[in-house]
């Protein structure tokens, strides 16, 4: 299967010292959490671990992924309020 990358909205569900878990609605209807490096999120957004918990961000993701390890979230950005609600 060919990777198909698109900008998607994600919600940070859990933030640990090394790994954070995000919900990606376009992957498994957001029911499977995708692990990402906490430091990568903090560096990209300028947010602390506390601020990241529950945050809604955007990222580029492989929307054709069949496994959480194939989602390849990257290019993180903080969602600004005028971008609309989380879907």
Domains delineated in the chain: 5-80 (2.40.50)
The per-residue pLDDT for 30 is 84
CA distance between the termini of the chain: 25
b/e map 41-70, b = 16+ CB within 10 Å: bbebbebeeeebeebbbbbebbeebeeeee
The per-residue pLDDT for 86 is 52
CA dist 51 and 71 (Å) reads: 23
CA dist 47 and 45 (Å) reads: 5
The per-residue pLDDT for 83 is 54
The per-residue pLDDT for 8 is 94
Q: What is the mean pLDDT of each run of 10 residues along the chain (87 residues)?
A: 89 96 90 95 96 95 90 91 55
The per-residue pLDDT for 29 is 87
- 41 has which bridge partners? none
């Amino acid at each position: 299967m060919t990777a198909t990358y698109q900008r998607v909205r994600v919600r940070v569900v859990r933030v640990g010292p090394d790994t954070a878990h995000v919900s990606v609605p376009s992957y498994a209807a957001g029911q499977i959490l995708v692990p990402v490096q906490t430091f990568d999120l903090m560096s990209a957004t300028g947010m602390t671990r506390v601020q990241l918990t529950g945050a809604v961000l955007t990222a580029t993701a492989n929307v054709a992924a069949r496994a959480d390890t194939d989602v390849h979230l990257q290019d993180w950005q903080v969602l600004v309020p005028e971008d609309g609600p989380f879907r």
